[in-house]
Amino acid sequence: MSIKLQQKSTLPTQQNIDAISNWLMVFSHPMKKGTFPYQDQLLNRRKQLNLKDADRDAVVLDLPNQNLSHVAYAAIESTISSFDLLTLARKLVATHSSGNPSHIGIVVSGFSDKEAERVAEALISAVLAAAATMPQFKSKKQKPSRLTKLSLYGIHARHGFKQSFAIAEGNALTRSLSMLPPNKLTPTEYLKEVKAIARENKWKLEFYDEGTLKKKKAGAFLAVSQGSPKADAGIVRLRYTPKAKTTGKKVFLVGKGICYDTGGTNLKPANYMFGMHEDMQGSAVALGTLLALTKINFNRPVECWMALAMNHIGSRAYKPNDVITASDGTTIEVVHTDAEGRMVLSDTLALASKEKPSLIMDFATLTGACMYSIGTSYSGVFTNRKDWHTALIKAGEDSGERVWPFPLDKDYDDMIKSDIADVKQCSQESGVDHILASRFLQRFVKNDVPWVHMDLSSSNKKGGLAHIPTDTIGFGVRYSVNLLLNKYLN
């Protein structure tokens, strides 16, 4: 993403404003007179719209200058939540989309230094999210973003918003991979993409193919992959090592990478099968988070484990009442073949946790039950450290990617007891499948490794979410980078 950011701590002059055709402006509420060129025009526009309170939507006007500079602005209170601020930023940026500008000016005025930086960060993040190139296969080619320059006035951040650019790049990778059609992103093609990214970023890559997984006795993973006509499933293991020496312990990012989910033998209805090419978004979130952490030179070693497979129908596909054995020796009674995500993740978590990292975070578009519980504006989180609940919520509130923790009490295991095996894959009766799936996964996290599981109910939302303008959100990259960098769990 080659967009240059220019910063000036002063407000723009009239000459500066006249030189740029597209502007984003955010002022503290109430707006003060006489502090800004063209402020009378801005205040008059608010008066025409009868706006007296702080804004939650973009106010738009064209200035009476030679350029007819297009301005989208708002007057907000500094107490605005991160989510609402990012949402407003997306709305402001959207007013410029039809013009596809090459240069955007940004003004932040009337806030303390810390508040101004938060506002500027939201605006920059929204601009970068909108400018990212997403896959298109239309015969008529879409025009790519022309944006190459941002001019920021009213604040000068010493770090140059490096973290925002890194997160934007990681999120764009997550979204672009998730949008690829299932015939374009098979496990084979996915592995090719990952290998190219690994070379570029000097990550060490290992691939546990089906032959290797058979040796590791990863029967839960292989039960899902055995129905595929091509034996290209496997677990990708990527390793990032900081340039500087560090005593920090490893963080593991684990992701569900089901490139297409038919439901298997328990075939999904058509309406629920459409869109299942995005069932690999958990793995893309893990990969995008690794990329963002690499770009900011994160000071701890990080590994990314991606469980890549397809859930096919066919004569070799696994079926209800099968009993399979996972890599840790746990026997599993299959109940429903559409609960394949927890199958591939169980072996992946078991293998990863053997390495005894200091933290495992896993990401998965795992259950409809989580979405039914909290909708598509939040994602669910689960952890084997109950005292982390408050910190996990706070990290979501601060980052603008909101999450809500669910219980993981042991008595939920009664619902997945099996008469024939150690555990049932899921329950036929329950409406709390998101909790049961997490209880199932938790048993494969070994050595008392601290673990956070994110059920990505916010992976896709019509019209976008927070600062992201596309239906495919890439939720989790921004959250995870902020969680790790700001040490919420320490």
Q: Any idea which residues carry the catalytic annotation?
A: 268, 342
- Do residues 72 and 92 make contact, with C-beta atoms less than 8 angstroms apart? yes
User: Which amino acid belongs to residue 60?
Assistant: V
Give the number of other CB atoms < 10 A from CB of residue 126: 27
Three-state helix/strand/coil letters over the chain: CCCEEEEECCCCCHHHHHHCCEEEEEEECCCCCCCCCCHHHHHHHHHHCCCCCCCCCCEEEECCCCCCCEEEEEEECCCCCHHHHHHHHHHHHHCCHHHCCCEEEEEEECCCHHHHHHHHHHHHHHHHHHHCCCCCCCCCCCCCCCCCEEEEECECCCCCCHHHHHHHHHHHHHHHHHHCCCCCCCHHHHHHHHHHHHHHHCCEEEEEEHHHHHHCCCHHHHHHHCCCCCCCCEEEEEEECCCCCCCCCCEEEEEEEEEEECCCCCCCCHHHHCCHHHHHHHHHHHHHHHHHHHHCCCCCCEEEEEEEEEECCCCCCCCCCCEEECCCCCEEECCCCCCHHHHHHHHHHHHHHCCCCCEEEEEECCCHHHHHHHCCCCEEEEECCHHHHHHHHHHHHHHCCCEEECCCCHHHHHHHCCCCCCEECCCCCCCCHHHHHHHHHHCCCCCCCCEEEEECCCCECCCCECCECCCECCCCHHHHHHHHHCCCCC
Pairing of strands 204-209, 251-261: unpaired
- Do residues 177 and 289 make contact, with C-beta atoms less than 8 angstroms apart? no
